[in-house]
Structure 1
């Protein structure tokens, strides 16, 4: 598929690595998406490693800067920019953004530079790091041509908390790919998903910001009304604490921690409802992924992506953060009256790789 919005460009996508993660998946989908629309694409990595490398399209050139850390990639990035002279550089994530700005400042190359911002800085767990990142962003982000925020909430915070006053656009993450849809169709061999008892699914890093305790407490209340099971995929430091919470409530027979799974989409497509219980999100990619799998969604109305993705409740239920009672009620209601699959997939189309690539092309053409 060729682009009809702009002529072919030499585009560099600059990211840390291709380990499994949200930002890494975004880098992969952008690289493949631009390549599939006829652009000459380099996927420039601080370190060429990660499970997603196998999914890079054969038409994309992977450039390994061979650095151990992001900040140590400045010298090899300068070499890359001077030698390859891309027309456009799109950097993925705060630390990579800074190195991208410094790289362009210190070479004769002058590519159009887009910085993508994915997170809410004031909610970083390390307050000193958050304060430093705000200062650095305030000084260096305006030296780019445009900052692309993945949600309106992230852009609002850049304006209000960081004080960024430069050029900026909101472009959602490229999430729905042909690979995701193929993965969602893979068979899932799990007895819970073959029974008539509904399955509630949670997915994400088992960390405080995901607030899985509220999901478990909500599920406990749900089991007082109906038979159900809860599956949580993902790994992280909170697993032992969460398992103790499940045990203390006598839910061992109806809650499973599946750990890391290499294909979460087949879980999503077979679940009766997907639940996001987070305290905060930069975007909330898993919500869009679940919608693409045709799965009804219940989410906390946390900053700063779920309300945008679900259009203030049009495409799924939103409940207050940390409210187990309301979360339980919303899950129960969604199981009784699920959002039609045609509706969830309709909304997911806004986050397709093709749609997002078109939006990036518009931004680039307007610079």
Structure 2
């Protein structure tokens, strides 16, 4: 049976953990890592970051989070890979376990090599369907190597049961797999949402249409990438906005920005859509929105959706993962539509804009349901999973500190 971590017993401390990330991209995976470091406090873990890409939207760690940048800003991975690996091996020997903070990217391979050279257990974090992530983000020639690393990991920690099957199908033994659900600091989320909004209104007449009526606002916060399905949302918006005026605000950045701007122009919705770029604190904007939308093609357990439910905001999401279904309680805490179905997305959007009461009632019900997605439970689960992997690694012959 796959162990699923919970909050039973005393709060555990993790083994000394070296976390390895490609970059501090503005993603849910990065937010999970930073939350764990803040929750565990100094001395438990260190984060090594391989790159700081120029022009990329990155998250800033908190003042008490220990981060070591292994390459200079804008330095290419081809030039920094070998020196970074050497430093990672030295760092790994000072820790008990090495954790790759994502299921894809060069950081997975370098973390695995460093762990093996330092004779430390290697753990990989899985935030999304492995096959979907490989297909979307990894060039075909590199996929066999990543699949090999996943098979040979001492443990994998999946952020939801819905992303387990591809990891097992890839060949990882079931006894090496742990499930630790994502969580957020619900009190901090609600406090941050109560702060004044940092963004101006998307248009000068944001408070009303030509007849003086308030125009509803739909907000989305996912990274601008194919996975997140913004092209689908734009097409649904274009269909509905001609019958029911509303505005769409996109509070993030990413590689698809130029293509999405071009699509908005092609669809004739430039005046009703605003791409705000990366926003340091999107929660006040989410809290005052009439609808939060997550139109993704595939997901894990999205933190942004948890936050929107925690704020009591009506939510509309594609049924893109078991994690999405869990957060929306199978449709009892928000509206679910089929993945990739623009007509269904448009119909649900229009239904809410015409009569917000049904989805508002679901949002009210979600306030109790979301309490189970707590950052404390997540941090304890991760500590147990890493401790288990460290113990298993020692038993199987991987040396602990001082043995490398």
* SS of 1:52 mapped into structure 2: coil
2:86 counterpart residue number? 75
Cα deviation code 1:38-88 (max 9, x no counterpart): 8633223224798533x4242x43334347538432211111122x2x234
Asked if 1:318 is matched to 2:336, the reply is yes
Task: Give me the whole-angstrom Cα distance separating, in 2, the residues matched to 1:31 and 1:169.
Answer: 19
Residue number among 370, 390, 402 corresponding to 1:348 in the alignment:
370
Cα deviation code 1:287-328 (max 9, x no counterpart): 223223332211111246422332322221111122222112
1:297 counterpart residue number? 315
1:242 counterpart residue number? 260
2:67 counterpart residue number? 62
Tell me: CA distance 1:343–1:358, structure 2 relative to 1, closer, same or farther (3 Å). Answer: farther
Native 8 Å contact 1:17 1:47 kept in 2: yes
Native 8 Å contact 1:176 1:292 kept in 2: no
Task: Give me the whole-angstrom Cα distance separating, in 2, the residues matched to 1:323 and 1:289.
Answer: 24
Task: Give me the whole-angstrom Cα distance separating, in 2, the residues matched to 1:302 and 1:159.
Answer: 20
* SS of 1:187 mapped into structure 2: coil
Structure 2 residue runs of 5 or longer lacking an equivalent are 1-8, 209-213, 390-404
Task: Give me the whole-angstrom Cα distance separating, in 2, the residues matched to 1:97 and 1:165.
Answer: 19
Asked if 1:52 is matched to 2:59, the reply is yes
Native 8 Å contact 1:121 1:130 kept in 2: no
Task: Give me the whole-angstrom Cα distance separating, in 1, the residues matched to 2:48 and 2:262.
Answer: 43
Task: Give me the whole-angstrom Cα distance separating, in 1, the residues matched to 2:146 and 2:267.
Answer: 45
Structure 1 residue runs of 5 or longer lacking an equivalent are none
Asked if 1:13 is matched to 2:19, the reply is yes
Task: Give me the whole-angstrom Cα distance separating, in 1, the residues matched to 2:12 and 2:190.
Answer: 28
Task: Give me the whole-angstrom Cα distance separating, in 1, the residues matched to 2:305 and 2:137.
Answer: 28
Shift, 1:224, TM fit? 5.1
2:127 counterpart residue number? 118
Task: Give me the whole-angstrom Cα distance separating, in 1, the residues matched to 2:218 and 2:137.
Answer: 34
Shift, 1:362, TM fit? 3.1
Shift, 1:272, TM fit? 1.0
1:286 counterpart residue number? 304
Asked if 1:186 is matched to 2:192, the reply is no
* SS of 1:172 mapped into structure 2: coil
Shift, 1:240, TM fit? 4.5
Tell me: CA distance 1:315–1:42, structure 2 relative to 1, closer, same or farther (3 Å). Answer: same
1:42 counterpart residue number? 46
2:359 counterpart residue number? 338
* SS of 1:234 mapped into structure 2: coil
2:117 counterpart residue number? 106
Task: Give me the whole-angstrom Cα distance separating, in 2, the residues matched to 1:15 and 1:127.
Answer: 15
Native 8 Å contact 1:11 1:39 kept in 2: no
Task: Give me the whole-angstrom Cα distance separating, in 1, the residues matched to 2:373 and 2:107.
Answer: 23
Shift, 1:29, TM fit? 1.0
Q: TM-score, normalised by structure 1?
A: 0.82
Native 8 Å contact 2:52 2:71 kept in 1: yes
2:166 counterpart residue number? 157
* SS of 1:337 mapped into structure 2: helix
Native 8 Å contact 1:5 1:362 kept in 2: no
Native 8 Å contact 1:151 1:308 kept in 2: no
Shift, 1:148, TM fit? 0.6
Native 8 Å contact 1:6 1:365 kept in 2: no
1:169 counterpart residue number? 178
Cα deviation code 1:74-127 (max 9, x no counterpart): 211111122x2x23433201332332222222125x3x5431012334334569
Native 8 Å contact 2:27 2:223 kept in 1: no
2:33 counterpart residue number? 27
2:380 counterpart residue number? 358
Tell me: CA distance 1:243–1:79, structure 2 relative to 1, closer, same or farther (3 Å). Answer: closer
Task: Give me the whole-angstrom Cα distance separating, in 2, the residues matched to 1:321 and 1:337.
Answer: 22
Q: TM-score, normalised by structure 2?
A: 0.76
Tell me: CA distance 1:342–1:357, structure 2 relative to 1, closer, same or farther (3 Å). Answer: farther
Native 8 Å contact 1:8 1:39 kept in 2: no
Task: Give me the whole-angstrom Cα distance separating, in 1, the residues matched to 2:261 and 2:147.
Answer: 42
Structure number with greater CO (CA < 8 Å, separation at least 6) is 2
* SS of 1:12 mapped into structure 2: strand
